[in-house]
Amino acid sequence: MPAAMVVSGGAGAEGKTTVYVIVSAIMAAFGGLMFGYDNGIAGGVTSMDDFLEKFFHDVYEKKLKAHENNYCKYDNQFLQLFTSSLYISALIFSFVASFLCKKFGRRLTMRLAAVFFLVGALLDGFAVNLPMLIIGRVLLGAGVGSANQSVPLFISEIAPANIRGALNILFQLCVTIGILVANLVSYFVSKIHPYGWRIALGLAGVPAVMLCLGSLVITETPTSLVEREKFEEGRTTLMKIRDTANVDTEFDQIVHACELARQVKDPYGKLRKRPSRPPLVISVFIQIFQQFTGINAIMFYAPVLFQTVGFKNDASLLSAVITGLVNVFSTLVSIYAVDRAGRRALLLQAAVQMFISQSIIGILLLKDLKPTGSLGHTEAIIIVLLVCLFVMSFAWSWGPLGWLIPSETFPLETRTSGFACAVSSNMFCTFIIAQSFLSMLCAMQSGIFFFFAAWILVMGLFAFFLIPETKGVPVDDMIERVWKKHWYWKRYMQDEDPDEDQKQSKLEMAQSSSRS
């Protein structure tokens, strides 16, 4: 889930908690809840027999056969497509939405996201066949893509600077709460036959309605209005949301920031230049690594995984609730630790803990879970504990930091485009995991856990050598205080004159004025 980007708005604002600030917090909460709920609910319903019998009869039959291969019970491309289609659609829509945000504003994009969410939840809740089910997921994905672009932008432009960071973390925390709620809902509705899964999928409509109502009462952000040259409206809106007529300084900052942004004609071109390499490489790789820890193999498929190791349906859904709780509480640890221990300490500690837990899970399964038969009760419980250790370390490190670091390392002119690259890398890797995990589990068996462990080893080394500490560094001081001092990345800062672009745009302006 994307964290709020630090943009121009709110810089000089008094930290008044006006109704607009409260609404922006609520929007952040519902945006995060929606995303988390959709992440978590697929795993719950794919383990429900009524759901499988209706849409995935092959999988249901395989599951019923006592001697069917443990690791392959759920291997079905369509079943995986049910989970993954959301992410491919979110990937595409995050680019569409970044265009809509710029051209038509944040408010319209958020309204659109809410409508996508609502229609998607309705289609899924009332699905009578597989296409309807998948189209519902695709629409939810369009909602996720649109909301993940517009909500963070909206929040960072509306909120006063002093609470922007807190809202950023609130969004991430709500993602984990959304996953937990999805796990709880799955646990309870799995007992309602034959349509418990309909309730689980349809309930996604509740936060969607809230998001809908919220997007009806909110105002457009002053930055968006100025960006679209509606200066007067921008100023009056700013006075309204700050609840004061004294907004000159902040308004001038917004106008100035928009002018600067306009000067950068091609932010994606600028991203390809050498000085952009360090933040770009780090932001994209942190997202790839985040997904290849195997976190979403657990988040999406925990109930299925726990059934694979031998739990009955109920016990496996309950175990998913436990891992969901661990996820929420460990995110709170991150809020406390991130500005005290620093980013690197968290990333490195977690890499060690995740490597150990994934490896031991692999060893236990390799030793004792043969294609037929199941694990002993004690061993199955040990697996759940190891999964908790894994989720815990992810949740206080690579989970939130995967979003925080990309939002704070880019300079202003490439911040939005750089962040969009990070979001889409995340969605793409999430899609790959969702679409292939069950097949990989079938093909590689316990080896899949060693596969994730190997990725974790690589990412630990990557963090050790290449991710610099950004704790306490103001976002606009990154180049001087971080990149130019880093043992490796400093070479990217020296080769090119950083003022080159400014000189270029001054030259262009001089040429055009001499022409006129």
Give me the residues that bind ligand BGC (CB under 6 A), please: 1, 39, 175-176, 179, 290, 295-296, 299, 327, 399, 402, 426, 430
Closer of 94 and 327 to ligand BGC (Cβ): 327
Dihedral sign of CA atoms 451, 452, 456, 459 in order: positive
Dihedral sign of CA atoms 161, 163, 167, 173 in order: positive
CB of 39 to ligand BGC, least distance (A): 5
Residues 237 and 220: beta-carbon distance below 8 Å = yes
Dihedral sign of CA atoms 2, 460, 443, 186 in order: negative
Closer of 226 and 321 to ligand BGC (Cβ): 321
Closer of 156 and 176 to ligand BGC (Cβ): 176
Q: Which residue is nearest to ligand BGC (CB)?
A: 399
Return the closest-CA partner of residue 145 out of 105, 116, 173: 116
Query: What's the burial of 348, exposed, middle or buried (CB within 10 Å: 0-12/13-18/19+)?
Result: middle
Given the structure tokens 């809908």, which residue do they identify? Answer: 212
Packing angle of the helix pair 447-466, 343-368 (nearest 10 deg): 160
Closer of 113 and 392 to ligand BGC (Cβ): 392
Return the HEC string of 34-56.
Answer: HHHHHHHHHHHHHCCHHHHHHHC
CB of 1 to ligand BGC, least distance (A): 6
Query: What's the burial of 120, exposed, middle or buried (CB within 10 Å: 0-12/13-18/19+)?
Result: buried
How many CA atoms are closer than 13 Å to the CA of 241, on its beta-carbon side? 28
Closer of 177 and 383 to ligand BGC (Cβ): 177
Closer of 175 and 360 to ligand BGC (Cβ): 175
CB of 38 to ligand BGC, least distance (A): 10
Closer of 176 and 470 to ligand BGC (Cβ): 176
Separation of alpha carbons 56 and 9, rounded Å: 49
CB of 36 to ligand BGC, least distance (A): 7
Closer of 299 and 360 to ligand BGC (Cβ): 299
Exposure string for 401-410, b = 16+ CB within 10 A, e = fewer:
bbbbbbbbbb
Closer of 142 and 241 to ligand BGC (Cβ): 142
Closer of 39 and 417 to ligand BGC (Cβ): 39
Return the closest-CA partner of residue 227 out of 254, 201, 247: 254
Given the structure tokens 């040990």, which residue do they identify? Answer: 382
Closer of 9 and 324 to ligand BGC (Cβ): 324
DSSP letter for 7, please.
-
Residues 160 and 16: beta-carbon distance below 8 Å = yes
Residues 93 and 146: beta-carbon distance below 8 Å = yes
Closer of 118 and 179 to ligand BGC (Cβ): 179
CB of 111 to ligand BGC, least distance (A): 25
Radius of gyration of the chain (CA): 24
CB of 14 to ligand BGC, least distance (A): 32
CB of 455 to ligand BGC, least distance (A): 15
- Categorise residue 56: left if φ over 0, alpha if ψ from -120 to 50, beta otherwise: beta
CB of 252 to ligand BGC, least distance (A): 36
CB of 80 to ligand BGC, least distance (A): 16
CB of 332 to ligand BGC, least distance (A): 13
* Helix, strand or coil, per DSSP, at residue 508: helix
Measure the CA angle with vertex 385, ends 306 and 181; round to 5°. 65
Measure the CA angle with vertex 197, ends 191 and 203; round to 5°. 110
Closer of 295 and 463 to ligand BGC (Cβ): 295
* Helix, strand or coil, per DSSP, at residue 413: helix
CB of 426 to ligand BGC, least distance (A): 6
CB of 395 to ligand BGC, least distance (A): 6
CB of 176 to ligand BGC, least distance (A): 5
Return the HEC string of 158-211.
Answer: HCCHHHHHHHHHHHHHHHHHHHHHHHHHHHHHCCCCCCHHHHHHHCCHHHHHHH
